[in-house]
Amino acid sequence: MRRASTRLALLGLAVATLGLPAAAGAAPVVTLKVKAVPIPKNPSSQTGPTWPGTGNILGAGTAVEAEFHITGTEYGGFPSPLTGVTFYTPPGSKVRTQGFASCPKSVLESHEVQKCPKKSVAGPKGSASGVVSFGGTRVHETLSVQPFFSSGNLVFYAEGTTPASIELLSTGVISSPVSGFGPVLTTEVPLVITVPEAPYGSVEAIKVKVGAAFKQGKKLVSYGTLPKKCAKGGFPVKAEMKFLSGETVTVNVKAPCPKK
C-alpha cells in the first residue's frame, strides 16, 4: 500500500472533479459528546493514576474528552471530507500553555513523534475512523490520534496502517474567549488521498482526550481549568465542523455539571 498523502493545496478542486458531486442542499449530520475527566499523571497512558482534585470539579484543573460522530451520503454514499474543526469551550474556562514542554515542529513534520519530549504529550491516544478509497473501492480504516504541545499550540498526530498507511498532522490554534464562550481551539484537518484521482477520505468518528498537568512546587499547574460556575443544564460547548462541500455544521451541547 502507498502512504496516503495530505493535500491541502487541492482544496480548490471541486468535488465533481472526483466524480462525486455533492447532493444539492445536503450536509453531514454531526453529534458531539463532551465531558470533563480527571487529568492522568502520565498523559500518554489510557490507564493509570490521575491527579487528585482534577476532573469535573468547579474551578479545578481538568482534561476534556470529546467524541464526534458524522453521518451523511452526499459524498459517494459517505460524509463530505472534514477540513476543519472549531471548538468553543464554556465561558469561564481557562487554558494555560506556559510551562509545558514543546515538541519541535521539525520532529512533528517528519512524523517521528516518538522523539517528542515526554512532557509535550497533551493526552493519550484517541481514535478516528472513516472511509478511504482505492480506485472505486471504499474501505473503512481506524487511526490513532494523539495530541501534543508545540509552540503554544495543540497538534494532533494521526496514524493508520491498515488498509492504507496514513500519517496526518493537524495543528490547532488557541484563541481568546468569544461572547458566550471561553477560549477557542481552531484546527485544520488535512485531506487524505490514498491513490491518484481517488476520492478523499471521509471521517465518520473522532474520539480524543486532551489534558495534562505538572507540579510547580506544591501547586498543580493544569493545561485546562473548568469554570467556577455551571449554569443549569450544563456547561455550554459549541463545535463548528467544516467540510469539503463548503458546508459548516454547528453543534451546540451541554457538558454535565459537577455532581454536588
pLDDT of residue 234: 96
pTM: 0.88
Question: What are 165's strand-pairing partners?
Answer: 3
Flag whether 19 is in a domain.
no
Contacts of 87 (CB under 8 A, 6+ apart): 66, 184, 185, 186, 187, 237, 238, 239
pLDDT of residue 190: 94
Tell me the torsion sign for CA atoms 114, 3, 105, 67.
negative
Contacts of 192 (CB under 8 A, 6+ apart): 4, 5, 6, 81, 132, 166, 168, 200, 201
Question: What are 179's strand-pairing partners?
Answer: none
Flag whether 106 is in a domain.
yes
pLDDT by residue (tens digit) across 108-134? 988 899 999 999 999 999 999 999 988
pLDDT of residue 46: 81
pLDDT by residue (tens digit) across 152-197? 899 999 999 888 888 999 999 999 999 999 999 999 999 998 887 7
Instruction: Tell me which residue of 181, 180, 179, 203 sits closest to 190, measured CA to CA.
Output: 203
pLDDT of residue 197: 79
pLDDT of residue 9: 31
Contacts of 20 (CB under 8 A, 6+ apart): 75, 76, 199
pLDDT of residue 8: 32
C-alpha 159/C-alpha 81 separation (Å) is: 17
Flag whether 210 is in a domain.
yes
Task: Answer for the pair 192, 143: CB distance below 8 angstroms, yes or no.
Answer: no
C-alpha 236/C-alpha 60 separation (Å) is: 17
The count of structural domains within the chain is 1
Flag whether 23 is in a domain.
no
pLDDT under 50 in the chain at which residues?
1-24
Flag whether 61 is in a domain.
yes
Q: Is 116 exposed, middle or buried (0-12, 13-18, 19+ CB in 10 A)?
A: buried
Flag whether 132 is in a domain.
yes
pLDDT of residue 15: 35
C-alpha 191/C-alpha 18 separation (Å) is: 13
pLDDT of residue 200: 92
DSSP run (H or E) holding 107: helix 105-109
Region of residue 122 (phi > 0: left; psi between -120 and 50: alpha; otherwise: beta)? alpha
Flag whether 62 is in a domain.
yes
pLDDT of residue 130: 95
DSSP run (H or E) holding 109: helix 105-109
Provide the domain limits for residue 157: 3-12+29-255
Flag whether 40 is in a domain.
yes
